[in-house]
Amino acid sequence: MDDVDLRLPLPDNLPQLFAGGPPPRGLATPLPAGDVVWPDPGYPQRQLTLRPAFWVSDEPVSGELWARLRAEHEHSGLWPLLLDESAQPWAAGQIAPEPVAEIGNYAPIAFMSEVWAEWAEQVADEDVDDLAPFGLQCPGPAPRGLALEDPGAVADRHARVLAGRGLSLGLVAVERSADVLTAVGWQGALNHNEWTAPLSAVLRGWEDRFGARVVGLGFNTLELSVAGPPVTAKHALQVAAEHWAFCPDILFQGPGTLAGYAEEIRGRTTWSFWWD
């Protein structure tokens, strides 16, 4: 029997995650106990909430379950996430979803250039070398990487590692993993950027150029798998510049220089970010 014949309609209230009524989608993989999460109306919202933002499991799940659900994404329309700190913000609904359609209005190069220009206006002369060899000049997006493996396989491997932390499962109704930040209304980078749509636009670029996939989210953390990481020192520096604009804390609370951070990500198939 073909796998499609084994798929059952989406269970319980999962169809509520989709706009426009229940979609003709299904899942072959049984789900653990869980429920949909609505944004807390007492938490500052950015749009009229018409449906729940995502679904979350009651208990931690295995990486194998994540991988099975990831493989079904094309048919289910649900991207799996491993969620850290499930009580806050997830179960508490401390989220502010934005329209996924807004993501296309942002250009990653514009976002990167704006962050760079703001830093250049405020940086002290002695700190300019932190972003050497680029300094005050934004280098723009790095060239694409060469995929070493299938992006899905790399994502599954990272999920198996992350699941060892005892993380809950989230399911989000999006066409691509980059959009989950915007769809769930994640607020982890609020001190760096007020809106999540520009961040999702950057992630779309990384999906296309490096085979990146969003695997996990925490209160202020993001975990990506990467199928085509930079493998040369020059390429890693260019990618590191993008990472810095996306999340300055990884540099200033990490190795301190762009060159030092570039060595950390060179050849790595996982990228981790955190914001204060």
Look at residue 274 and tell me if it is in a domain: no
**Per-residue confidence band for 125, with pLDDT thresholds at 50, 70 and 90:** confident
208 shares a domain with 261: no
Look at residue 275 and tell me if it is in a domain: no
The residue segments making up the domain with residue 241 are: 104-146+227-269
183 shares a domain with 119: no
pLDDT in tens, 158-171: 999 999 999 999 99
178 shares a domain with 79: yes
Residue 57: its H or E element: strand 54-60
59 shares a domain with 167: yes
140 shares a domain with 11: no
Report the alpha-carbon distance of residue 208 to residue 192 in Å, rounded.
Answer: 24
Give residue 4's pLDDT.
45
Give residue 23's pLDDT.
63
Cis before 133 (ω within 30): yes
- pLDDT over 90 (residue 91): no
232 shares a domain with 96: no
Domain count, the chain: 2
Tokens of 20: 């426009």
% of the chain surpassing 90 pLDDT = 76
12 shares a domain with 137: no
97 shares a domain with 176: yes
Strand partners, 271: 224
- pLDDT over 50 (residue 3): no
Note the pTM of the prediction, 2 decimals.
0.93
**Per-residue confidence band for 45, with pLDDT thresholds at 50, 70 and 90:** confident
Look at residue 76 and tell me if it is in a domain: yes
138 shares a domain with 12: no
256 shares a domain with 142: yes
Q: In the chain, how long is the greatest CA-to-CA distance?
A: 68
